[in-house]
Chains A and B, each alone.
Chain A
Amino acid sequence: MRTQSLEDFCNWIEQTSLSQAVQSNAWVVPTVQTIHILAIAAVLVSTLLINLRLLNLSGNDMSVSRLLDRYQPIIWKSLPILLVTGLLLIAGEPARSLANDVFQLKMLLLLGVIALMVVVRGHVRKDSSYYDPGRGHRGQANLFALTSLALWVGIVCAGRWIAYTYS
């Protein structure tokens, strides 16, 4: 999606002093990207451990609800870091990101995975044994886990592809 008003908006961002500062200091983008990647690392490992547990593949000494308590806050705390660093990267090159189909796809996938996390957390909040054995929610747990993993893999791939897809 690439509308005239979106392009105008990108042009406006490029003129801001923040954007100029990001563009004219060569160390800013790599540094901000490094922080972005470290936050992604925190998210990925947390989501992997949660989803391996939902799939009953690892961490079975802890209940799903305990594991969520341990690892989901890491994801929630990383998201603001990703947002701020992501916004700085956008400020530096607005058209390359905002007007890029792959970036827009990445944001859609992100919304999807956040919605999924809210649903899983909601289940466990209401009933902490919701995903325990014998409750008949195995299929649901597997579906959520595989979808969540696929979405995060998609988010990371889209993120890397942004660098290659601006025309």
Chain B
Amino acid sequence: MQLETLFKWLYETSFAQALRESEGLFPWIECVHVLAICLVIGSIAIVDLRLLGIASRERRVTVLSAQILPVTWCAFVIAAITGLILFSSNAVAYSRNFYFLGKLLLILLAGVNMLTFQFGVFKSVHHWDSSTSVPTLAKVAAILSLSFWTLVVIFGRWIGFTLVPAIAG
């Protein structure tokens, strides 16, 4: 498989080697990754809970999301970059790990859910911006979002317990 050739090459790079051999590099990047993921999930949850009418009920959906989403996006970019670095330390092993692949799929699903929401029911937000009775579709999107991101954390944590740090090959 061509992708695996790429991962093996990545494994051999001095960058990946440094990540594996340094005592502090990997944990420190993990720290940033954890911080960023926490902010992604925490900030998304605030908007989701508003859509579900559980919290921030007195705040307009558009005002709240305009305030929160920059945090989400900044944190997501940092999580993606640090995640890519962690992945490159042992690309072959990660690419064969069920929980790693599952986590990627879940992030993809969360993204599709977000786009569907953004270009679907959110178009009519001016009708329910200040209301707590938001359309059912928006609530479904919120529940899906909370579920996907919770699963992302579950799968992410399991990677650490299941990764076989095999050498390339």
Q: Which residues of A contact B (CB under 8 A)?
A: 26, 29-31, 33-34, 37-38, 40-46, 48-49, 58-59, 61, 70, 153, 156-157, 159-161, 163-164
Since A40-B34, A43-B42, A156-B31 are in contact, a sample of 11 more A-B pairs with Cβ atoms closer than 8 Å, ordered by chain A residue number, is A30-B157, A30-B158, A34-B153, A41-B37, A41-B39, A41-B42, A45-B71, A48-B71, A70-B56, A156-B34, A157-B31
A-B contact count (CB 8 A): 72
Taking a contact as CB atoms closer than 8 A, the residue among B39, B45, B160 that contacts A48 in the complex is: B39
Q: Which residues of B contact A (CB under 8 A)?
A: 23, 27-28, 30-31, 34-35, 37-39, 41-43, 45-46, 56, 63, 67-68, 70-71, 150, 153-154, 157-158, 160-161
Contacting pair B67 A44 (CB below 8 A): no
Taking a contact as CB atoms closer than 8 A, the residue among A33, A41, A43, A49 that contacts B157 in the complex is: A33
Taking a contact as CB atoms closer than 8 A, the residue among A33, A37, A58, A70 that contacts B38 in the complex is: A37
List B contacts of A70 (CB < 8 A): 56
List B contacts of A31 (CB < 8 A): 154
Q: List 17 A-B contacts (CB under 8 A).
A: A30-B154, A30-B160, A30-B161, A34-B153, A34-B157, A37-B38, A37-B153, A38-B41, A38-B153, A41-B153, A45-B39, A48-B39, A58-B70, A58-B71, A59-B67, A156-B35, A160-B30
List A contacts of B70 (CB < 8 A): 58
List A contacts of B154 (CB < 8 A): 30-31, 34
Contacting pair B153 A45 (CB below 8 A): no
Bound-state CA distance A34–B161 (Å) is 12
List B contacts of A33 (CB < 8 A): 157
